[in-house]
Structure 1
Amino acid sequence: MLAASGLRLTLLLCWLLAPQPTQPERLFHSRDRSDLEPSPVSQAKPIADLHAAQRFLSKYGWSEEPRPKESAGVPVGSTLAQAVRRFQKANRLPASGELDLPTLAAMNRPRCGIPDTKLPPQAALPTPLGLRPRARQKRFLQMLLPKPGGQHEGTPDTGPSRAFSKKTLTWRLVGDAYSSQLSVEEQRYIFRLAFRMWSEVTPLDFREDLTAPGTMVDIKLGFGRGRHLGCSRVFDGSGQEFAHAWRLGEIHFDDDEHFTPLSSDTGISLLKVAVHEIGHVLGLPHTYRAGSIMQPNYIPQEPAFELDWSDRKAIQRLYGSCEGSFDTVFDWIRKERNQYGEVRVRFNTYFFRSSWYWLYENRNNRTRYGDPLQILTGWRGIPMQSIDAFVHVWSWGKDERYFFKGICF
């Protein structure tokens, strides 16, 4: 009797624990997936009235007034008219002092977030990536601003140094602040090119550092939207402020902007913006000199984008220029066949110093990426260092090259 009762209890427990013929548990439930979907692009509010124009002039250093006080419809006062006139003159517009359509259009152009002429009252400055906003001194922005009435290539700064005190600087694209528009490798490649453009005209050596603690990295770069990266400044959305930077510190890019890679001729070139913002980090202010990369407004990228001579002189005043002579320099013209069997003429310039050499790509107007290289790795059958001269004999029936070292060739 007890055995039968125990058997029935066991069978009942087995039935209760057995899978039931009901709807199986769903592994994925309907929920809000906004965290997995790209957020819509936010558009900056256009500057279209007196209040917006006053805020713009105050934010970027053209007006002393921190807040607009006039009501709508009130004529622009003499102080504001002077600020508008200065802004118009800098942008090569008729200096009427009136908020006409060309002036408003100039205010709405994509631009850098650093002030143009002087520090606006109560300006909020960026804070380090990943930290909470906190009050910071305004000294760094004051040193980024040009002296009254002068260009950034004026007299040397007599205040605290605007430059790094060392020549080897590390940088990093912060891991949790990538852009959503380009691949990580594209972003890092573009930033390497941007740093390289400054290192080509100065003794500075920029190295990407992916392993050191963040506090040990000299320059940190990151993308964000609106309130971003613990920064006390807020991006305004697509169409106006595309980035801001602070001296000897960090660079923030507005990911609402349409940043594009090197191969694109639309949108905003990430390379050109990065070169501009790196200039700020290194200590350069804005200038309205035509052709300068340090102009506050974005200018579409030219096919052969290079640093202007004024930018080179300005950065060399802070860090000096590259020194030393070369053992030999020569042009090499040679014929090559492309993948279609067509014969093309290549024209490059080579620079040799000690056991190293540089190849200057004339078609790209810069040295080859990754140079200098050791002579041993790029050449065969010539001395590994101290080449004295080179001669290329090229005629209809002869194409010979001679390297000289001492009395030997």
Structure 2
Amino acid sequence: MLSLFAACVSVAFLLLSSPCLPARTTPAAVDLKPANNVVNRFDRLVDGSKGISVHGISELKRYFHHFGYLSRENTTTRSTRFTDLFDNSFEHALTKYQANLGLRVTGKLDRETISAITSPRCGVPDVVLPNPNARLHVKRNYAFFSDRPRWNRAVPKTLTYAFSPENTIKSLTGIEIRTAVKNAFGHWASVVPVTFLETSDYGFADIKIGFYAGDHGDGEPFDGVLGVLAHAFSPESGRFHLDAAETWAVDFEAQTSDVAVDLESVATHEIGHLLGLAHTSVQEAIMYPSLKPREKKVELKLDDIKGIQALYGSNPNFSYKAFEESDMSSNGASDFKNSPTLLSTFLLPFILWFSL
């Protein structure tokens, strides 16, 4: 154990000057998929900075526009198209993106940032910090949607959910899908006084779940394999959509595809949106916007719990002490108790699913 701790500390110091940090992906309008050929396609942009004009920057501008970092008015004048010029507004959008995602704020298209942009993610736009340095002056990272919407129900709250009978997939059985989503709801129910009940009455359910392909009529078309994985709407919309083109999995031993995506992990994240949480910059939290293929990420972190309890209060059976003990035990890293993000931050480069 001591040798492992020493090794981790050594790795941390080696990476301090150039941390390789996570991950994001792609809106429907931007063809950025997490594969080596895509990364190679953007190699010419690596270390690009203000003043250059290189083919590909217009795609990144569309990406930043889609996820809330760049307005079209600030990018073009009379033209309706984005240009390939690395201008002031693009630099500002880039620094906001880097700060919001917990990356080094360099204002350049370094490899870590390109890696982040080309990684699979949730399709919900980010809540963007107005000042790239703002995150350095606040302790909390969880975020809410504008006006802090939440479900207004009598306490204890009960929300029903149902699956679309038409919009489904054949690669998983109904029982597999229902079990994964039930487990996802259970993670949130364990920390807030909200009960989730499945109903067969899709029309009257509070939360409506379905698998959709491409343009499915909500203004947020899906983009095929990887890219945007799913999206959900803030309270009290109740719409929860998953991309039918993904290789959804509930068991990675049974599903061996390199692009398999864990259904419970994505469902847990999207339910956070359904309840009123926006994206966080805490990389190990459920509400961080990206998820690597073949990654299972279902355990709520302190950031998730504090955020959701700020909206709904605490489940009377929830104990922070028990949670912290369980979390430290599962991570095997009690020496990092006062800095829970340190280990994941410096070891993350070694578990990224693709190499630059």
TM range (shorter): 0.5 to 0.7
Does structure 1 residue 203 correspond to structure 2 residue 193? yes
| Bigger relative contact order (CA 8 A; separation at least 6) | 2
Contact 1:152 1:285 in 2 (8 A): no
1: distance between equivalents of 2:263 and 2:117?
A: 21
Equivalences for residues 77-96 of structure 1 within 5 A: 77-96=87-106
Q: Tell me the amino acid that sits aligned with residue 65 of structure 2.
A: S
Contact 2:248 2:263 in 1 (8 A): yes
2: distance between equivalents of 1:237 and 1:118?
A: 26
1: distance between equivalents of 2:269 and 2:248?
A: 14
Does structure 1 residue 192 correspond to structure 2 residue 168? no
Q: CA deviation at 1:364?
A: 9.8
Q: Tell me the amino acid that sits aligned with residue 214 of structure 2.
A: G
Secondary structure, counterpart of 1:112 in structure 2: coil
Q: Which residue of 2 aligns with 1:332?
A: none
Q: CA deviation at 1:95?
A: 2.6
Q: Tell me the amino acid that sits aligned with residue 172 of structure 2.
A: L
2: distance between equivalents of 1:59 and 1:284?
A: 19
Specify which of 217, 221, 237 is matched with residue 205 of structure 2: 217
Greater shift, 65-74 or 94-103, is seen at 65-74
Does structure 1 residue 311 correspond to structure 2 residue 310? no
Contact 1:222 1:251 in 2 (8 A): yes
Specify which of 235, 252, 255 is matched with residue 241 of structure 2: 252
Equivalences for residues 5-404 of structure 1 within 5 A: 45-46=31-32, 48=42, 49-65=56-72, 69=76, 74-118=84-128, 149=135, 151-153=140-142, 159=147, 161-166=149-154, 167-210=157-200, 212=201, 214=203, 216-228=204-216, 230-247=217-234, 248=236, 249-264=238-253, 267-299=260-292, 305-323=298-316
Contact 2:167 2:210 in 1 (8 A): yes
1: distance between equivalents of 2:159 and 2:262?
A: 24
Secondary structure, counterpart of 1:312 in structure 2: helix
Q: Tell me the amino acid that sits aligned with residue 84 of structure 1.
A: L
Q: CA deviation at 1:104?
A: 2.3
2: distance between equivalents of 1:67 and 1:234?
A: 24
Secondary structure, counterpart of 2:153 in structure 1: coil
Deviation sequence 1:331-354 (CA, Å, 0-9, x none): xxxxxxxxxxxxxxxxxxxxxxxx
Secondary structure, counterpart of 1:298 in structure 2: coil
Contact 2:123 2:230 in 1 (8 A): yes
Contact 1:243 1:252 in 2 (8 A): yes
> For the structure 1 residues 242 and 213, does the alpha-carbon distance in structure 2 shift closer, same or farther, using more than 3 Å as the test?
closer
- Select the structure that is richer in helix: 2
2: distance between equivalents of 1:61 and 1:153?
A: 17
The TM-score, its normalising length taken from structure 2, stands at: 0.63
1: distance between equivalents of 2:315 and 2:104?
A: 42
Secondary structure, counterpart of 2:229 in structure 1: strand
| Count of aligned pairs | 257
> For the structure 1 residues 153 and 118, does the alpha-carbon distance in structure 2 shift closer, same or farther, using more than 3 Å as the test?
closer
Larger radius of gyration: 1
Greater shift, 192-201 or 102-111, is seen at 102-111
Q: CA deviation at 1:305?
A: 4.0
> For the structure 1 residues 304 and 117, does the alpha-carbon distance in structure 2 shift closer, same or farther, using more than 3 Å as the test?
closer
Contact 1:81 1:98 in 2 (8 A): yes
Secondary structure, counterpart of 1:307 in structure 2: coil
1: distance between equivalents of 2:317 and 2:285?
A: 27
Deviation sequence 1:365-398 (CA, Å, 0-9, x none): 9xxxxxxxxxxxxxxxxxxxxxxxxxxxxxxxxx
Q: Which sections of structure 2, spanning at least 5 residues, go unmatched?
A: 1-27, 34-41, 43-55, 319-325, 332-356
- Select the structure that is richer in strand: 1
Q: Which sections of structure 1, spanning at least 5 residues, go unmatched?
A: 1-41, 120-147, 326-359, 366-409
Secondary structure, counterpart of 1:103 in structure 2: helix
2: distance between equivalents of 1:117 and 1:72?
A: 22
1: distance between equivalents of 2:295 and 2:225?
A: 22
Contact 1:225 1:237 in 2 (8 A): yes
The TM-score, its normalising length taken from structure 1, stands at: 0.55
Secondary structure, counterpart of 1:82 in structure 2: helix
1: distance between equivalents of 2:278 and 2:29?
A: 27
Secondary structure, counterpart of 1:244 in structure 2: strand
Q: Give percent identity, aligned residues only.
A: 31
Secondary structure, counterpart of 2:162 in structure 1: strand
> For the structure 1 residues 101 and 187, does the alpha-carbon distance in structure 2 shift closer, same or farther, using more than 3 Å as the test?
same
Q: CA deviation at 1:58?
A: 0.7
Greater shift, 200-209 or 271-280, is seen at 200-209
Deviation sequence 1:88-110 (CA, Å, 0-9, x none): 23344443323344322211110
Q: Which residue of 1 aligns with 2:353?
A: none
Q: Tell me the amino acid that sits aligned with residue 45 of structure 1.
A: D
> For the structure 1 residues 78 and 218, does the alpha-carbon distance in structure 2 shift closer, same or farther, using more than 3 Å as the test?
same
Contact 2:261 2:295 in 1 (8 A): no
Q: CA deviation at 1:115?
A: 0.8
